[in-house]
Amino acid sequence: MATFLYKLGRLSFRRRHVVALIWVALLTLAGVGAASAPAAGNSSFSIPGTEAQKAFDLLEQRFPGTSADGATARVVFKAPSGEKMTDPGNKATVKDTVKELSDGSEVVRVTDPYQAKAVSKDGTIAYAQVSYKVSGMELDDAAKDALEDSAQDARKAGLTVEIGGDALQAVPHTGSSEVIGIAVAAVVLVITFGSLVAAGLPLLTALIGVGIGVSAITGLASALDLGTTTSTLAMMIGLAVGIDYALFIVSRYRAELAEGREREEAAGRAVGTAGSAVVFAGLTVVIALVGLSVVNIPMLTKMGIAAAGTVAIAVLIALTMIPALLGYAGRKVKPMGEKGKLFGRSKPQAAGPARSAKPNLGTRWASFVVRRPLAVLLLGVIGLGAAAVPATSLELGLPDDGSQPTSTTQRRAYDLLSEGFGPGFNGPLMVVVDAKNSDDPKAVFTETGDEIKGLKDVVTVTPAQPNKAGDTATITVIPGSQPSSVTTENLVHGIRDAGADIKADTDAGVLVTGSTAMNVDVSEKLNDALVPYLVLVVGLAFLLLIVVFRSILVPLKAALGFLLSVMAALGAVVAVFQWGWLSGLMGVEQTGPVMSMMPIFMVGVVFGLAMDYEVFLVTRMREAYVHGEKPAQAVVTGFRHGARVVTAAAVIMMAVFAGFIGSSESMVKMIGFGLAIAVFFDAFIVRMAIVPAVLALLGRKAWWLPKWLDRALPNVDVEGEGLRTRTDRGDEDRELVRA
């Protein structure tokens, strides 16, 4: 592989005009496609195989036209102090609002609070429920604007009006987080390279790669039902890895220049060596993202595949466009140790011996770890273990309006409903009774309602509402606890257990659905998929790393270190978002269960990124070992060449993710914090401390591989041994010519 990539790098350097033209043409084509493609709404949301989804599907069949899985909005009214909602003036305002809400083209029905008895006992709070034909993720902006305008008209009449439910569900906006991440990345790159030109190359190529990827997603969104949320993960991951991959190749190019090679040769060798690491690092990220499909949540699968495609583009750009741009840059990109022009001033170049006289920080740190590997290993493992302790009390759930900031209308509506009707009113359960195969459907409906009334934490059970055929009915159950509580989750399981007994006696099916039950099912589905996902992703990456490092223990150590860093990161997430530690600093207004998608999301994203650092750092050590250095010295050599670059890459990655902590959405805030802290733990504790300590303790055993397996594995030559042989042979030929 190294030889092929070496030739590709040299070809891209020589034919830089053609390469640049191809990528600019692809960017233009993707942009035109995105601009001309039909606008796509948010992706439809379904959870195949869950009981809640089966109930929705059954309702569509037995109650046609009711849009059971459509969006709902609760418009909550509160009377001014000293007044009641039953006062004539307030009642007239609510009636006008209900009439106004009914005019929307996507509205199925609007309930009148006075006819539906949706007024609190003290008469101060009432609500009208609006049902829509489509889900909250598919509802168009015009319908949302009409909803908010109606509420504003009622406010002008003197009422307090807030809107809850999923009708106002929107794509989370993170403000200037991407800009902040790019700005921090630019600063880190300038510090790393000491040159605006060299620093600009990774930024330029990363932006081009993300531009192509996101434009392609936008262009295909309508045809493939990708939705507007799909590009968020693709942009986040594509930007981070795009900068990192280009950073590694540019750094290797400068190192090759420092060894006296011509620029075209240096570009070829940089792509042949660092480029090989980029290919395998990119493969691990792609495996982790595509592996999200095992969860069998279509939206998550599409997000993973779209992000994986953007990563693949980042790899191709790093292998071809970076050497092409290096050809354009010429002497403006200086050899390693020689600073370029920064804001017009040229940094003085130290002589070669002086440069090598003082070891860099990476060399000094690696030498310290090699001298005291056991102490560093124990300290790192104990520290991460301590950080992981909170993860033992991890509670998973999906966020609802109760986790929104108090400044939002959704949260204020949630609090008003809790005040007027009890905390469980925000999470009603819909029980669907399928009595088609029963001899006496009416008796089954009554028996089901009576069974549910006898369960714990049940406040209200409405009478069964049968369909026209009389073979299916819905029953609404109001829990006594808030939707995201463990008590409500237990109630969902209790109703389902009671339904199993009813089915055994009457052959009637009892299904529980609604947003609360759907959240419970999604959480359980994600939990059940976590272990298979870990086995698939870690297993495939383990095999891939065996091929890269030609070792059993190095990939095993890489996987175990990753698991340790993810557990520590989950512990930190629990401490902040569930326990409330440093919640004020992080802007967490409401603690509660950790988002159920968080563990599997962190495993997928962080594993791919962690393996990036592993591949880039350890391939340098492997390269030094293969070329004759002792194991301990190879560790030091790897750090001398790679520590600064890996550190810069990790800081850039953390900056991109940390920018999302400032989001007002608790889910986005949690993802940003979790990924940023996971990269910190993995890059600076696992890869920078535990990895060299373990390799120092193992010595030559770290690179052991059974002979039969060594013969069976393909030789991908990530270390560039074939390039060294080629160069040595070329040097001999030149010596003969001179002789």
Q: What is the 3-state secondary structure (H, E, C) of 34-98?
A: HHHCCCCCCCCCCCCCCHHHHHHHHHHHHCCCCCCCCCEEEEEEECCCCCCCCCHHHHHHHHHHH
pLDDT beyond 90 at 382: yes
- In this prediction, residue 524 carries a pLDDT of 84
Q: Report how far residue 680's alpha carbon sits from residue 387's, in angstroms, rounded to the nearest whole number.
A: 13
Better pLDDT: 441 or 604 = 441
DSSP string for 613-652: HHHHHHHHHHHHHHTT--HHHHHHHHHHHHHHHHHHHHHH
Instruction: Yes or no: say if 476 and 463 are a contact pair by the CB < 8 Å rule.
Output: no
Q: How many residues does the chain have?
A: 739
Task: Read off the pLDDT of residues 686-707 as tens digits, 9 standing for 90 and up.
Answer: 989 999 999 999 988 888 888 8
- Bridge partners of 162, per DSSP, are 76
pLDDT beyond 80 at 337: no
pLDDT beyond 60 at 555: yes
pLDDT beyond 80 at 554: yes
- In this prediction, residue 230 carries a pLDDT of 67
Structure tokens at 654: 């953390």
Among 675, 606, 651, 662, which residue's Cα sits nearest to residue 178? 662
Percent of the chain with pLDDT over 90: 15
Angle at 306 between CA 303 and CA 312, to 5 degrees: 140
pLDDT beyond 50 at 731: no
- pLDDT category at 346 given cuts 50, 70, 90 is very low
Looking at the chain, the number of H-run helices and the number of E-run strands are 25, 13
Please state the rounded mean pLDDT for residues 283-288: 84
Q: What 8-state DSSP symbol labels residue 334?
A: P
Instruction: Yes or no: say if 418 and 408 are a contact pair by the CB < 8 Å rule.
Output: no
The region of weakest confidence among 218-232, 280-294, 314-328 is 218-232
- In this prediction, residue 732 carries a pLDDT of 43
Please state the rounded mean pLDDT for residues 8-26: 92
Instruction: Yes or no: say if 599 and 554 are a contact pair by the CB < 8 Å rule.
Output: no
- pLDDT category at 559 given cuts 50, 70, 90 is confident
- In this prediction, residue 352 carries a pLDDT of 43
pLDDT beyond 60 at 396: yes
693 Cβ contact partners less than 8 Å away, ≥ 6 residues apart? 369, 373, 374, 376, 377, 380
- pLDDT category at 24 given cuts 50, 70, 90 is very high
Helical H runs in 117-195?
141-156, 177-193
Q: Report how far residue 619's alpha carbon sits from residue 603's, in angstroms, rounded to the nearest whole number.
A: 23
Q: Report how far residue 642's alpha carbon sits from residue 629's, in angstroms, rounded to the nearest whole number.
A: 16
pLDDT beyond 80 at 340: no
Q: What is the pTM of this model?
A: 0.77
Task: Read off the pLDDT of residues 133-188 as tens digits, 9 standing for 90 and up.
Answer: 776 666 777 888 888 888 888 898 889 999 887 777 655 554 555 577 677 777 88
- pLDDT category at 723 given cuts 50, 70, 90 is low
Q: What 8-state DSSP symbol labels residue 447?
A: H
Residue with tokens 């990924």: 675
Among 48, 607, 573, which residue's Cα sits nearest to residue 291? 607
Instruction: Round the average pLDDT of the chain to a whole number and report it.
Output: 81
- pLDDT category at 733 given cuts 50, 70, 90 is very low
- In this prediction, residue 215 carries a pLDDT of 85
Among 268, 276, 274, 227, which residue's Cα sits nearest to residue 248? 274
Q: Report how far residue 728's alpha carbon sits from residue 717's, in angstroms, rounded to the nearest whole number.
A: 16
Task: Read off the pLDDT of residues 86-137 as tens digits, 9 standing for 90 and up.
Answer: 899 999 998 989 888 888 777 888 888 888 788 888 889 998 888 887 766 6
Task: Read off the pLDDT of residues 575-596 as tens digits, 9 standing for 90 and up.
Answer: 988 888 887 777 776 677 788 7
Structure tokens at 496: 């389902």
Task: Read off the pLDDT of residues 610-632 as tens digits, 9 standing for 90 and up.
Answer: 777 787 788 778 878 877 888 88
